[in-house]
Amino acid sequence: MTAYFAAATVLIAALAPLIVFSARAAAEDGLVALNLGGTIATLVFLVLAEATERQPFFDLAVVSAVLSFAGGLAYARFLERWL
């Protein structure tokens, strides 16, 4: 196990509290957890790309970064209409 795989494991473990928090918190606070989870997921993809030395994981990280930002904006838009 390399240091990159260990870092990916720690980052994936950091997603668990966000999932629990977003399930129990208010919708506005869930938006913060959603954005932080997208950032952590992007970092996981970058670390895995470096660990495996595969180019498609870098592309996946770039797509994840863009879509997590767009998803956060869409969630905020629907949250605005709902509340």
Statement: residue 67 has pLDDT above 80: yes
Whole-angstrom CA distances from 20 to 30, 61, 82 are 10, 24, 22
Alpha helices by DSSP H, 1-83: 3-24, 27-52, 55-82
What is this structure's pTM? 0.84
Statement: residue 83 has pLDDT above 80: no
3-state SS class at 17: helix
For the chain, the domain total comes to: 1
> What is the extent of the structural domain holding 37?
3-82
Per-residue model confidence as pLDDT tens digits over 17-30: 998 998 898 888 88
